[in-house]
Amino acid sequence: MARLSDSDAAHVRRLCDLLERYRPGARPVAEELVHELNAILGSEGCIAMRPVLGELGWDFDFLYCTMDVTPLREQTRAIGMTWSPFFPTTPPHLRNRAVRTRVEHRDMMLNPPTPEYGQALQAIDRTYGLDKDDLGVSVCDDDVVLAWIGATRSVPFGDRELALLDALVPSLRARMLLEHQMGHAIATQALLEAALEAIPAAAFVVRGASIVHANATGRLLYDRDRASIVSKLRESMGGPTPGGAPFAITQVEVPGSVTTSLAVMRADGTGELERRLLAFATVHGLTPRQTDVLTLLARGYGNKTIAERIGVAPGTVEEHVTSLLHKTGTDSRAALVARLWMH
């Protein structure tokens, strides 16, 4: 393997510094990296991607490129289960090391594992041209492919480019692993927040002794009467109470982590919700049917269930909800339910 020149070593240090600086919320480093590598490697195109095989076929977790990626997207979505020696699982001897991928592809085209595999490689060759040479590295965490970083050009790549890309692998692997893990965390948080918003009643996620998430209804109630909400949460988290706790508590225990709980406000058996509904309906001039709809909204039901409960079409329920928002001066279901509990 070629020894890095002083200028190439300087390139590696600069790119490693880029890879090792992480700022939450910043764009993925691969988006910038492809342009940097394209210039340093003297390539005609550079790509960073993570193809993912799902139940419906191939797609990309991410895809950044200095050239038109439309043909690659179309070919990838049209091919079968396996289309490369690197996906969906890279063989151990090809992980985390720079290789000339055209060589690997052509070796496998001589004896493809399936006819479909050979046809897919031929289609990719037709798309990008047989006169091109490819260089790339499959960045892996054990058998999980974190990213494919590659480049292409008409002039064959040599030891210099292989050595340069190899020198970046440790920093590439650390950064791609971090972004992979953070991506799952961000997606999980987004799903959590969406799920919380689907609960019309006030809902909070409590980790240890801290409230870490709340849906819109919960935030409105917390902002309006923090002391009361905290008191009711503390009471509910303390275990069974006579007459039932103000919040229904579901605990999620993760080994080695502090206990996390989902707390959803529920109507108690004292008739408090009914008293609030009666007073609220009187103040805002609600019809009996609007009161019925609000009662079920406050209990956490969606349009379909409300429609079944009161014997109307879901569209009619939506009309009642619109009227309720107008009469109460609120702009969302969450605000409506919160207004009821703050009345």
The verdict on residue 288 lying in a domain is yes
Is the same domain home to 99 and 32?
A: yes
The verdict on residue 81 lying in a domain is yes
Is the same domain home to 278 and 222?
A: no
Is the same domain home to 156 and 12?
A: yes
pLDDT at 239: 66
pLDDT at 97: 94
Instruction: Kindly list the averaged pLDDT for each block of 10 residues, start to end, along the chain of length 343.
Output: 85 91 78 94 93 78 87 70 73 92 70 68 61 88 90 92 95 87 66 72 82 83 84 81 72 65 70 77 91 84 83 90 92 83 70
pLDDT at 318: 92
Residue appearing with tokens 């085209």: 109
Is the same domain home to 181 and 323?
A: no
Total count of domains within the chain: 3
Provide the CB-side half-sphere exposure for 195 (13 A, CA): 11
pLDDT at 81: 56
pLDDT at 157: 94
Is the same domain home to 181 and 247?
A: no
Is the same domain home to 54 and 158?
A: yes
pLDDT at 128: 55
Closest CA to 204 of 184, 240, 185, 229: 229
pTM: 0.56
- Domain around 283: 272-342
Is the same domain home to 233 and 141?
A: no
Residue ending a domain, choose from 172, 191, 210: 191
Residue ending a domain, choose from 191, 224, 239: 191
The verdict on residue 123 lying in a domain is yes
Provide the CB-side half-sphere exposure for 299 (13 A, CA): 17
pLDDT at 269: 47
